Amino acid sequence: MQILSKLAFALGLGVAGLSGSAMAADVSGAGSSFVYPVLSKWSASFAEKTGNHVNYQSIGSGGGIAQIKAGTVDFGASDKPLDAAELKEFGLGQFPVVIGGIVPVYNIEGIEPGKLVLDGDVLARIFLGKISNWNDAAIAKLNPGLKLPTGQITVVHRADGSGTTFNFTNYLSKVSPEWKAAVGEGTAVQWPTGVGGKGNEGISAYIGQIKNSIGYAEYAYALKNHIGYALLTNANGKTVKPGNASFQAAAAGADWAHAQDFNLIMTNAPGDEAWPITATTWAIMYKQPKNAANSAVVFDFFRWSLTHGQAQAQELDYVALPDALTQKIEAYWQAQFKH
């Protein structure tokens, strides 16, 4: 092992002279795949403006946290916030960069996208396997005008660990004590029933192929790939449609003022218009970075993105951060990070 690493080093030092790439700054980040589409869009625009390259790779939120802790990247991105103790232990700070929605998706013959209505309790019981047929009375009660077929429900969930799963199971845990006791929340959980698809493409392929199936996916994925998605009844008892307006309502109604280190999970948000499964992605950085120059570029990047990048975010079906939140993030940077 040592021999190999020594050999690698000798080779590495030998070629180091050849690389000599001291052009504009190259900074890197890793983590959540939820933000990958918008981060790469921002990165391309930012590169055109400044010449600085922000290289973001979606290796998963867990991977992003592990890599920032190992100091191999300049920032991490996670769909699940770190708690105060963990942030303190590693000298890290975190702030939200993107907000978006997760929707239940389905394939039921004769039922078009946006027609099926579900609530948290029914959704939880479907994913628990307790409601196993589309003709169940509980579903019919929520959909008086809809002719639901008789057919065994197949649950489709993510097989890979994912922030999308974390937000979805977090929501189910909040609205269903039964789910919380039996399964709980996490980037991966022990699913009581169903099949697991790898990544978003696995989910959309399975939903497309398996009749009478139900799963969950990022809103943009459902929309762009023409998969049926359901409406949900929110915390205020109102039925809402997924989309920019309802995601924004959830973000605006959240109590960011009292959330230390922005540690606030927006699922089951209050408000008549609020979409109940709204998700946030946080960027995680060192407060005293080893590479201060790179860190400064990352701040420039996010400052630019949170002000000028919001239109691009909306094009990709994410939500622009509320102004109050953006200001709070700027204040957090000034107070917490060394520049």
Residues 6 or more apart whose CB falls under 8 angstroms from that of 318 comprise 38, 98, 99, 100, 220, 247
- Expressed in percent and rounded to 5, the helix, strand and coil fractions of the chain are 45, 20, 35
Give whichever of 18 and 137 is closer to another protein, judged by the CB atom: 18
Q: State in angstroms the smallest separation of the CB of 140 from another protein.
A: 22
Binding-site size for another protein (CB under 8 A) equals 80
- By CB under 8 A, residue 209 contacts another protein: yes
Mask 215-254, x = binds another protein (CB under 8 A)?
---x-xx-xxx-----------------------------
Q: Collapse the DSSP code of 156 into the 3-class scheme (helix H, G, I; strand E, B; otherwise coil) and give the result.
A: strand
- By CB under 8 A, residue 185 contacts another protein: yes
Q: State in angstroms the smallest separation of the CB of 212 from another protein.
A: 9
Q: How long, in residues, is the chain?
A: 339
Residues 121-160 that bind another protein (CB under 8 A): 152, 154, 159-160
The DSSP code for 134 is T
Residue given tokens 């570029």 in the structure block:
297
Mask 14-43, x = binds another protein (CB under 8 A)?
-xx-xxxx----x-x-x--x--xx--xx-x
- By CB under 8 A, residue 199 contacts another protein: yes
- By CB under 8 A, residue 12 contacts another protein: yes
Q: State in angstroms the smallest separation of the CB of 164 from another protein.
A: 11
Residue given tokens 């919001």 in the structure block:
310
How far from 1 is each of 5, 12, 14, 327, CA to CA, in Å?
6, 16, 20, 50
Q: Collapse the DSSP code of 93 into the 3-class scheme (helix H, G, I; strand E, B; otherwise coil) and give the result.
A: strand
Give whichever of 146 and 159 is closer to another protein, judged by the CB atom: 159
CA dihedral sign, ordered 226, 227, 228, 231: negative
**Listed residue (31, 59, 61, 30) closest to 187, CA to CA:** 61
- By CB under 8 A, residue 314 contacts another protein: no
- By CB under 8 A, residue 316 contacts another protein: yes
Which two structure tokens, joined as six digits, stand for 87? 């942030």
Which two structure tokens, joined as six digits, stand for 264? 């606030």
Of the candidate spans 106-114, 197-205, 262-270, 300-308, the one that interacts with another protein by CB under 8 A turns out to be 197-205
C-alpha to C-alpha distance for 35 and 219, rounded to whole angstroms: 13
Q: Which of 134, 206, 216, 282 binds another protein (CB under 8 A)?
A: 206
Q: Which of 120, 197, 242, 253 binds another protein (CB under 8 A)?
A: 197
**Listed residue (154, 170, 174) closest to 162, CA to CA:** 170
Q: Which of 35, 62, 108, 277 binds another protein (CB under 8 A)?
A: 62
Q: Which of 25, 35, 73, 92 binds another protein (CB under 8 A)?
A: 73
Residue given tokens 């600085």 in the structure block:
52
Residue given tokens 């690389």 in the structure block:
19
Q: State in angstroms the smallest separation of the CB of 112 from another protein.
A: 19
- By CB under 8 A, residue 324 contacts another protein: no
